[in-house]
Structure formats: structure tokens, C-alpha cells
Chain A
Amino acid sequence: MEIIIDNKKIEVDKGKTVLEAAKENGIVIPTLCHSSFLEDVGACRMCLIEDLADGKLKTSCTTEVKEGMEVLTKSERVEDSRRTILDLLISDHPLDCMTCEAGGNCILQDLAYHYGIERSSYGAKVERRFEIERNNEFIELDPDKCILCGKCIRVDQDIQCSDAIDFVDRGFKTKVGAANDEGLGGEDSTCVFCGQCVELCPTGALSYIPSQNKGREYDFEKTVTTCPYCGVGCQLELKTRDRKVIEVGSVYREGTPNPYGEACVKGRFGYDFINHPDRLKKPLIKRNGSFEEAEWEEALLLVAEKLTEIKDEYGGRALAGLSSAKCTNEENYLMQKFMRAVIGTNSVDHCARLCHASTVAGLVKAFGSGAMTNSIAEIEGSDVIFVIGSNPTENHPVIGSKIKKAQKQGTKLIVADPRQIELSSLAEVAIQHRPGTDVALLNGLIHVIIDEGLADQKFIEERTENYEYLASVVEDYTPEKVEEITGVEAVKIKKVARLYAEADKAAIYFAMGITQHRTGTDNVLSVANLALLTGNVGRESTGVNPLRGQNNVQGACDLGALSNVYPGYQSVEDPEIKEKFARAWETEELSEEVGLTVVEIFKQAGKEIKGLYIIGENPVISDPDQRHIEESLDKLDFLVVEDIFLTETAKFADVVLPAACFAEKEGTFTNTERRIQKVNQAIEPPGEARADWKIISEISTRMGYQMDYNSPADIMAEIAEITPIYGGIYTDRLGDKGLQWPCKDREDPGTKFLHQGEFARGKGKFHPVTYIPPAEEVDDEFDFIMMTGRMLYHFHTGTMTRNSEPIDKHEPDAYLEINKKDAKKLRIKEGDRVRVTSRRGEVETNVRIGERVQPGQIFMPFHYAESPANRLTNPVLDQDAKIPELKVTAVKIEKVKR
């Protein structure tokens, strides 16, 4: 339609606001409370325009365009009103621009400058009206600088969905506050410190505590890159100054996993590990039991020599490599190439073995592809979301927020988790099944769905095979029998089955609660069975979605850092494929034998395995049965570790090579939704640290296999040549939003959701499974079941978050969660020290009492080296995927007397 703005005719789409129409046509209208992705509220009144039809002043952000409408955006009346409004705001704003954190990055300051308001005609604000609130490590709120635009509240409530802040009081006394007005760090505050409020604050009312007095916006260089924490793959802006990362800002880009600048506390505040003084800056060589700094050449030669020596003496199979889900795609590719083409072994693996190996094994069997079937942006479109064995609000917080938002907008939520997680409280049905009883639960659901005729017969006939067998296996799993096994009431099982089956678009989200069991692959197959049975896969917003835990665990798997596959999940046992790689890599070293996996490598240490090359992994903390891991490392003839810190594992090494972290190198990460995104260098590495891809190349070259890539982009070009699912992935194509695999060639726009029309393996295949109890159950001595996992503030082995000052200050201590009934029985109080003992070891930790876990169960996060949960866990393996049963350990608990 046509409208007239400032006497200029303008074509504009119906449904737009006058503000949008003006913006599209280069007409600037000042705003304070507007944000392109938040609901417009018309609060600040700065964006007033004059509507000539009725002569009224209207807020352009809330006024929709109408055919023939004529408005003025800069009439004297409009500008006068804006000036008065600014005058009023400034009358209640401290004039401390000279020391304000937001100086140079303040809309109020900009507007005052534009309208020439030096001081308010209503007098200056001399006295403070409110206290500054900073009872937390992350965010400071100065209500005296707040202009009550409410953007922080809207982003908190509508995007982050934490409902942490709202307006308190009314009229001139109004302020922004958290629960009970006790500050963001208050006892009842639900703030999760994502920082989105700070990002949107138009003034200095909200600011980041860690970066105070370290520079202003215009002092910073800015680099957009991909977050190094979980698998969501948030795009972040690193703000750097003098080779230091000072602050992490939001990136607002459609088509990215976090289009509205979402982040979590780790991505936002967990960056000071980068400039931590303990970063490794020079290679270290262990001499007589202690490390000495060495020159690169010496260290590299030593590594090359030692690896060659072992290879010559025992063969390539005596060496193994652990690649890293923290490293880039290019580095993972090089690592496995090095191990396969230069050393001649398939024993290259990485921590995916401990998280989603069973997912890959199970989903490849059922669908033909082992990744999330859908995209993060599709979450909002689901009618039902079934979260099982996943705690997204802590482990994938940005996805957690999207699930909460979907629920707010009408999506029904089902949560199955032994613990009462945050999402449980929002669920239509929340169930707490006993740890390790997932197969029984899922079979029970399938039983009800078949029994009540809710299965999607058309889908089963057209797109699946092996249904009859499934039907016969689940026949025994009546809701009543399943109730006995899982502890979930039969009526609830029926309710969940109906809710899931009757939805048009139902999506499953799962994580370690499903995978980290000795029946991990069975669990995943059951999940796939459920989806196939109801036709809930192969369409938008419905599918099976494993949430990947590490920034690049998807990519590390995709690029063959697994002992059984080359890049792109191409089997090492297939002679034709081996031949293809032998040609491409110009090597005769390739082996047709599946290599050893993570846990197996440690079992064979000192036996089959003599030397180990570890990049960016910390198995002493992350792998099950810590004592065994330490003994294994001791038994090795040679251990080289490449890392950014001297980790618990690196301490066992003969040579330690200092690596660059994500902020100091180029490359790509692949997130949980199969999106390959760029990693951009923001600063130089500390000291002499180098990017892993460079280090691997140097070692390889010194072992006689020339690797002379100029850049990670060169490596990616090589990957595209020999990896069909990455066939169209070239660094120059990634742009702002990356690409989602499968992407077969340079023309392919990538794939939003998988298995449309046809499964990757042709037909979807049902794999009926029967329930097998966990390896360890409670007995008289070990009378509790321990689950392990992550919590919001820390990440994995803590290499990054434990080295982040604000985060570690906020969550400094290890703990275990125990039910209040058990606590009463054991006579322990909140904060007491207890000893937790399993058949493999014991640890001491602090107690947190509540009802998150059920009686008879405890939960321990595994991040803490001082109370390592994995000293206790059971290395019993899933036979298919070789994933250990980290989720079910029988333990006993004793109070420690001081």
C-alpha cells in the first residue's frame, strides 16, 4: 500500500508499523523502548509521529500503516514533544556520563546530544533515589540510571523465559526488580545471568560487573564467533582490547541458533579462562618427573621421534589418539587423518564415546543418520515436546528457553526424568522414572499406543519395516507391568502415550539420560521406535533430537574422530571406502580394522597401547573410574597432551604442547542441529601457544608425512572432496549463518530437517528391544543410586568454567543432591560434608537437600576435580556403542565427622 511520510510517498507492506515503514525508507525515528524482536509497548513515547488524519500524536512503534495514511515524523509539534519527553527523562537521570560504563553506548546520551539537552529544565537529579544492586558476580543494576523502557523485562520474560525481573511499585517510584525486590542475586531470584537484559539496556542501568572499568564500547575490537561451550552453537561477539577478551556481546542475526542474541551464563561470562595467567605458553617436556619449558622445535621433534619409535617397534596399532570435541572440524579431521594415514591405526576416538555414541549407533540403525533430525528454530512449531533424559535449561540453556517459550505459546510439554528438573514444573505431564528403566517406559508407551489404536498405520506401511516384530515384543509391556519397573503410575503412562501419539507434530528431545547406560543404544532405538510408530519424523517440528553437549562434538563425529568411521560416517571396514581414502590421502597405512574406543584405549594402556596422543580432552575427570584412568596413563610409554591448561590429564604427559583456544584461531564448529558455523580469531594466542591444526601438521611433517595447509579453509576444501555429507561445505560459503549438513555440493543450501520423504537408510526400521536392568542395583551396602550430570554454571571437567572467576565464585563447591527424606534418615543437614563410596572409590562432597531427586537416589555434577564423581562411576559398557553407564552407580553415603 501507499502511505505518505514527511510528504514523501512510500510503498509499504500491510501489517507493518509506521516505525518499520520509516526505517525501511531511511527515515530515522528515535526510540528508546523499541526492539525489532520484542513486542512493542509504546512506553517511552520518543517515537511519536503526527497523524494528519486526526491530528493526533501517535507512537509509530504501535501504529500500523493504513492505506493513504499521511504522517509527519519531524514536525515542530513532534520534535517539541520529543524534546519535552527527553527533558523529563533527563530530569531524573544522573549526569555522570563521564564515568558511566555506558558512555558512548547510550541511546539516552545520543538523543540528548541530538536534541541539544545539556541539562533538564526541570532541574538536575542530585540525590540518589535507589540503591545500586550488585549482590551477584555478574550484573549490576543501578535503578537511578533506568529509564523504564522495559526492554530488559520483555527479553527476560518473552525470550529468555526466566521471569526473573519485572517492574516493582508504580508511578514515579517504579523500578525494575527481581523477586521480592531482593536483587538478581536474591534468594528467590530466578535470574540465570544470560545477560540479555544488559545487552538491550539503552543506558548504563544494567552493566556487566566483570568488565567494569575495563573499557567502553568504542575501545573494543569486536569479533563474531561461535560459543565454545555446549552444542547449541550460539553466535557471540567477543569484545577485545589489548589482546584480552573483556566482554561478550550478543549477535542478532536471523537464521542462527540464537537469532535474538540469546546466551547463557557460560557463554556470556565464562571467557576469562582465555586470558587466565595459567594458560600454557610454552611446550613442556617432562624430565626426571618434572616439567621443563622447551622450544617448539625440540618438543615437536621429541613427539615425532617417540611416536615413530613406538610405531616402528610395535606397529601403528600400539598408538592411539584422543581427538577433541572442543577443537574445530578442521582439527578433528586432521587428527583422525594423522592417526589413520600417518600412524596407521583406527584407534582415534573422543569424548562423544561418553555422551552420544549410543545415539549415533542407534539412530544410524533406525534412520540411517545419527544426528538431530530437526533445527532449533523448529522447536516453537511443535504441538508436543517430549523431553526425556535431558535437562535443557541447564545443559543447553538457549534451547531450554525456546522450549519454555513454546510451552508459553501453547506447545504441550512432557518431561520424563528421574529428577524433577526445571521443565518438569511446566509440563503437562511430568514423570520421574527410576534411573535406567527407559526401555521399559518407552515400550510401555508403545504398548499403549498400539493397544489404543493410536499408531500411524499409513506411515508404518509406507515408510517403515519390521513393525510386526515390534508389536510382538512390546505386548508384554502393559502399563501395570511398566509401573512396577519404572515406578511411574500406569495412568500417567497412558496419558503420556496419548498426548504424544495424538499430536500432529510431536518432537522428542533427549540427551545423556538416554545415552549413558549400558543399554544406551537400546534406549535410543526405543526412542526411534516411538517416533516411527506415530509418524513423528521427517517433517518440520517433529522428529528425534539428541542434544549434543559440546560445542563441536557433532563435528568431531562427523569428521571421523571415531574408531569405526572415516569422515562422514564412512565405515573403516568397507574396502572401497578405504581405497578412496588411501588415494585421497596418498597413504598405504590405512587399516580395515575398527580401532579402540576411549574406554578400551585405557583398558589396553600398557598392554596393546604403548603411546597416546591426546588433544583437548581431560579423561582423568571425564571418564568413568578415575583410579583406573590414572593407572592407565601411568602405564604408557609415551603420552603427549595438547591443551590450553595443564589439566589433570596433562600432568601425566611426557610432552605438553600449548594450544590456542577458540578465540585465538580460525575454523568451524558444527552445532547440535548439524550447522557448520565459523570460528573467527579475535586475539593472538598467549605466549607461544599454537592452533591445534598447526601442531598436528608440524608433527605429521616431522614424521615424514607432509601437511602444509595454509589455513583451515584449505582443510575444509579437502574435507568436502571426500565427505559426501560435507560435500558443499566450503568456508567461503558459510557466511553469517553457516550451513546445515547434509549438503552435497556447492549449490546445495543445506538441510533443515532430515528424512523428508525417505529415510537416510531408505525405510525407517523398528528395532524392538527388551528391558535390561542397569548393571548395578542397590543392595544392603550400596543403598543409593547415583546419577551424574552437568549443572548450569559449570561445564564438563571445568577447564574453562572453573578458571572463570565470576562463575567459579558463584558456584565454587562440589555438591550432591539428596532427597530431604533421606537426609533426615541419615541425619545430615544442608551443607554437611558426606563421603560417597562406590565399588571403585570414594569422594567427599557437600550436601544439597531438596526434592529434585527422589528418595534412594542422589545426583552429583562431575565438574569438580576436588570431588570427582567419576571416581565412583562404573565403566561397564554398552556393547554396541561402547558408552559407559555413567548414569547409574550404586553408592553408599556417610556423614563426615569434622
Chain B
Amino acid sequence: MAKKEILICAGTACLSAGAEEIKDRFEEEIKELNLTEDYEIKTVISNTGCIGPCSLGPIAIIKDDSTFYGHLKTENVERIVREHLLEGKIVEDLLTEEDGEKIEDFKEIRFMKKQKRIALRNTGIIDPNKIEEYIERDGYQALKSVLNNLTPLEVIEEIKNSGLRGRGGAGFPTGIKWSFAHQAEGEQKYIICNADEGDPGAFMDRSILEGDPHSIIEAMIIAGYAIGAEQGYVYVRAEYPLAVKNLKIAIRAAENNGYLGSNIYGSDFSFNLEVRVGAGAFVCGEETALIASIEGKRGQPSTKPPYPANSGLWGKPTVINNVETLANIVPIINQGSDWFSSIGTEKSKGTKVFAVAGDVKNTGLVEVPMGTTLREIIFDIAGGIAEDKGFKAAQIGGPSGGTIPKEYLDLQIDYESVKKVGAIVGSGGLVIMDEDNSMVDVARFFLEFTEDESCGKCTPCRVGTKRMLDILEKILEGKGRRQDLDKLEKLGNTIKETSLCGLGQTAPNPVLSTLKYFREEYETLIKQAEEVN
């Protein structure tokens, strides 16, 4: 008899909410009741990685019937085991209630209903430390069909046709990036997975690596085959110990199963993968800084061109793809580029994972088709504003992004539309703010982050962000002057125009976009200051 599984979310958020204790309680209970022997029910508790609805954690899903239990407390476990597992009765009063209704099925909770999970297809569902569970869900089949049936150029063509664009923030077409590296001259090439996820609040990459590392490994092998690289690196920040651990376990398993190493699937193609742990500098998510860091140098960006596709790691052609981008590769190969490009909008294909945070009822990771409106994300998936307050603004794209005011609630979220209103999709940070938030304070929060994370190499970013922060602080301390706003705007624009890398070029965005949509908040603070003096 197949084992029945209880899925307990073991993502970082749930762990900190006590998932470990919940798991222990389940184990104790099952042991105590001798479920396996007496009732011939096989019950497995898996470390499932992140399931997504973090605000409902700790979470357990009874996989058999997809029953969802959220906000678990250790004292509730006994009942679930006794009533649900033993007697087959759903514990009604422990079910999550939404809009006055008790929801049984995980797929039916509001959080899941409007989502389309491609990148997150396995996270929370499989045990990341068991390669067989990945294989069971068609794992390493895409690799097999690529190696058996497709030339590298055909793989690149397929990715190009899918319309997949980089999910790390810049949105550069992945297939084109691959084709540049493919065309670049040189025997030695590299593929790097950028897992230096640094935007405050964004954690989709971490969740994928923690929960579905094989999907990244498989994608990197395919990418390596496509561009002609036999060596890959995953650059992960040290703050993600679980991701590093699960990834290393997965790499070893892939090696033992012959998916990594020499002559994969009997082909001429060989590929090896190593993990490189970064020290957590935000700027190391920038391609050239990331490369410098892997090379053992100080993690500082350098001028592009040359682009890594031509001269990257150790001066060799290198493709750097973000985790979420890579997570889309296997589904595209398995289900075809036509399927993928049928999802999303004209220029932005597929889905995007957002890390929804802030003043909403359900925070957590959501994956939606490109083109989903902000309203759908906030009010359908995330359950609306907490305490039913009024919505004020959404900060999208992290510290490089901008603020979207409520008049754009029906904005379709895709690369182009978001850019048009002065923000960026970025890596998918989405902070929802209710009417109580001070937008000047929000701007200060993000600028403080970039000012601190500036590598210090170029003048406008190093000194410019510091001076902008000085002015913001002055305004918040009630010492602002009318001319400060023009100064902020002018300096912000100069920093954007003259900084060396993406960090500086986007650092002023949170200030500039709040100045654009919420200028009156700044003015009010300044007026108050002037009245006092």
C-alpha cells in the first residue's frame, strides 16, 4: 500500500512560526498510535519546502485528499492524527475560514485559486531531498529529450519561441542571451545560476532552491548543453543555509544518478555543477559583481560591455540566469514553447512569482500569469488589505522599483506596463501599503537599504545615495526646506543617469516615484517644519 503523506511546509517562514515542533508532534503521535502496524496506513512526513501562503503557517496538507490545515498549533496535531488520519474525518473546526466558509481543499484556498504555478510547480509538494520524488514528476525527462532529440540551437530556438524573459529584474529574453553565449567564441564557457536574491522581502528564489532544487539543476544542464558549457556554478547567498544544504544534497543525488558528470544519458555531453556561497552583498546579484565574487575578488560591478555572454567568468563566455528564470526551462521543454507563450501578455510570456508582503491578509509567494492585475493579486489572492483598511499603494520591484498608487489598481502587471508607471517588475517584491503608511518613510526605508548596499565604486551611487538619504532624514526629522524636493529630484535623476551599474541606476526610484505620486506628503512635512520654525 502506498504511503499516505502529510505535507508540512518547512520553508523559512513556517519554520520560524514553529513548523519544526508541529512536525515533531506529528511524528510522536503517529508513533504513539502505531498507525503503520495497527492500521496498515503508511504515513510519511516530508520536508516539503515552501508551499506559499506564509501568513497561514505553520501549515499541513494531507496529500491524499488535499486537505489544508493552517495556523497549526502543536496542541491541534493530536486531533488531526486521531480524527483525520485514524478515523478519516476532516477536523472541521481547524480548517481555514475564508469569507465565512471553511475551505477543505488546498487548491481551493483563495491564495491558490488564481495562481498558476509553473516555477513553483514542485515547491511544497515534493521532498527536495529525494530525487525520486522529482523524477516521479517527470524530472530529468526534459534533459533526456533535449540530449536525445535536440541540437543546442534547437534548444535555444525553443526557449526563444517561448518568449521567456529574465525574472531577475531586467527582463532580458533568455533565449537571446543563450544564443549570444552560444555564438561567442571559446572552448570554455560557463553557466551561472544567480541565487543571490537580495531584494528585501523577495524570497521566491530561496523557496525554489529549498523546495525544488532539481528543477534548477536540470535547467542548468540544459542551458549548459545549449550554450556549450560543461561547468556551472550556483551562486547562493550565505543567508540561505537551507537552500545551500538542499542544493548540495540534490547535486550529489544528480551526480549519483548520472545526470551530472560525464556522458549524461550516454551522450557526448558532460556537465558539472558547483555551489559558490556569497557573503550576502546585495550588489553581488549584479552580473559583473557576481562574477568578480566567484573569481575571489571584491564583489564590485564593472562596466558593460563587454557583457558576460562574451567575456564573463575568468574572461570566458558566461550565461547568468536567475533561479526563477531557470525554473521555467524544464516546463517549456516538456510542454512546448507554444504552451508557454500562450500564457501571459503579448510581450511578457508565462507567469511571475511575487513575494507579497505588507498590509494584506495573506502574505507569501504567489505565481500568476503575466497580465494579472494588481487588484486580483491584492484582493483575490492576498485576501485584501489587513483589518479591511484602505489600500494606498504598492511598492513593486524592491529597492530598484517604484510605488504604484491606487489609481493603477487595475494595471496589468507585466514588464512594459509597470515600467510605464515608473516602477519595475524587478525580482517580484510586492509590498502592499494601507492608508496609514507614510510614503516618505517608505522611500527612506528603501533608500537606506541601497545606500547601505552600494558597493562604493562609483561616485554618484556612493555619495549620491548618501546625500539623498541625508535630505530624506532631514525632511522626516522636521527640518526640511522647500528647495530640498527639487534637489532630491535633480540628484536622483543624475544618479540614475550616471551610475555604473543597475544598483545606482535604480536606487533613486523609490524616492522619485513617491515624489511623483505622493508629493503632497513630502510637502506637508516641509510645511509643518516651516511652521515650527
Which residues of A line the B interface, CB within 8 A? 40-46, 48, 56-57, 59, 62, 64, 80-81, 84-85, 88-89, 91-92, 121-122, 147-148, 150, 166-167, 169-174
Contacts and interface: CB of A to CB of B under 8 A. Distances in A.
Nearest to B500: A42
Given A88-B467, A92-B463, A171-B451, A44 B498 contact: no
Interface in B441-490: 451-460, 462-467, 470, 487, 490
B491 interface: yes
Contacts of A59: 303, 500
Contacts of B42: none
A45 B281 contact: no
A85 B490 CA distance: 12
Contacts of A80: 494
Closest 3 CB pairs of A and B: A174-B456, A88-B463, A171-B454
A575 B456 CA distance: 73
A199 B490 CA distance: 36
Given A57-B497, A81-B498, A172 B451 contact: yes
Nearest to B496: A57
B298 interface: yes
B302 interface: yes
Contacts of A41: 302-303, 457
Given A42-B500, A43-B500, A91-B467, A62 B303 contact: yes
Contacts of A121: 487
B463 A172 contact: yes
Given A45-B460, A80-B494, A122-B467, 10 more contacts: A41-B457, A43-B457, A43-B500, A44-B458, A84-B490, A85-B494, A88-B460, A171-B451, A171-B454, A173-B456
A81 B500 contact: no
Contact of B458 (A43, A56, A122, A167): A43
Given A43-B457, A167-B456, A57 B462 contact: no
Contacts of A166: 298
A57 B498 contact: yes
B459 A45 contact: yes
A167 B300 CA distance: 10
**Residue from B302, B305, B456, B491 with most neighbouring chain A CB atoms (10 Å):** B456
A85 B459 contact: yes
Q: Which of A48, A170, A173 counts the most chain B CB atoms within 10 A?
A: A170
A172 B459 contact: no
B456 A45 contact: no
Contact of B281 (A43, A81, A89, A170): A170
B278 to A, nearest CB: 13
Interface of B: 281, 283, 298, 300, 302-303, 305, 451-460, 462-467, 470, 487, 490-491, 494, 497-500
Nearest to A40: B303
Nearest to B453: A171
A119 to B, nearest CB: 14
Contact of A44 (B305, B454, B459, B494): B459
Given A166-B298, A170-B281, A172-B456, A45 B498 contact: yes
Given A85-B460, A122-B470, A42 B454 contact: no
Nearest to A64: B305
27 contacts: A41-B457, A42-B303, A42-B458, A42-B500, A44-B458, A44-B459, A45-B499, A46-B459, A59-B303, A59-B500, A81-B498, A84-B460, A84-B498, A85-B494, A88-B460, A92-B463, A150-B457, A166-B298, A167-B457, A170-B453, A171-B453, A171-B466, A172-B451, A172-B463, A172-B465, A174-B455, A174-B456
Contacts of A92: 463
A469 to B, nearest CB: 46
A539 to B, nearest CB: 28
Contacts of A45: 458-460, 498-500
Contact of A89 (B453, B463, B491): B463
Contact of A84 (B298, B303, B466, B494): B494
Contacts of A122: 467, 470
A170 B470 contact: no
A397 B14 CA distance: 60
Contact of A85 (B303, B454, B456, B498): B498
Nearest to A166: B298
Contacts of A91: 463, 467
A81 B302 contact: no
A431 B454 CA distance: 46
A57 B303 CA distance: 13
B498 A48 contact: yes
B381 to A, nearest CB: 36
A883 to B, nearest CB: 45
Contacts of A89: 459, 463
Nearest to A50: B497
Nearest to B497: A57
Nearest to A153: B298
A128 to B, nearest CB: 16
Nearest to B461: A171
Nearest to A157: B297
B464 A88 contact: yes
Contact of B454 (A43, A48, A150, A170): A170
Nearest to B305: A64
B257 to A, nearest CB: 37
Contacts of A57: 497-498
B411 to A, nearest CB: 27
Contact of B456 (A62, A64, A81, A148): A148
Given A43-B500, A59-B303, A88-B467, A172 B462 contact: yes
Nearest to A122: B467
Most buried by A among B452, B459, B491: B459
With a 10 A CB-CB cut-off, give which of A48, A84, A173 has the most chain B CB atoms. Answer: A84
Nearest to B504: A45
A410 to B, nearest CB: 12
Nearest to A147: B459
A64 B304 CA distance: 11
Nearest to B450: A171
Nearest to B470: A122
A171 B452 contact: yes
Contacts of B465: 171-172
Given A44-B459, A88-B459, A89-B463, A172 B498 contact: no
A514 to B, nearest CB: 36
B497 A170 contact: no
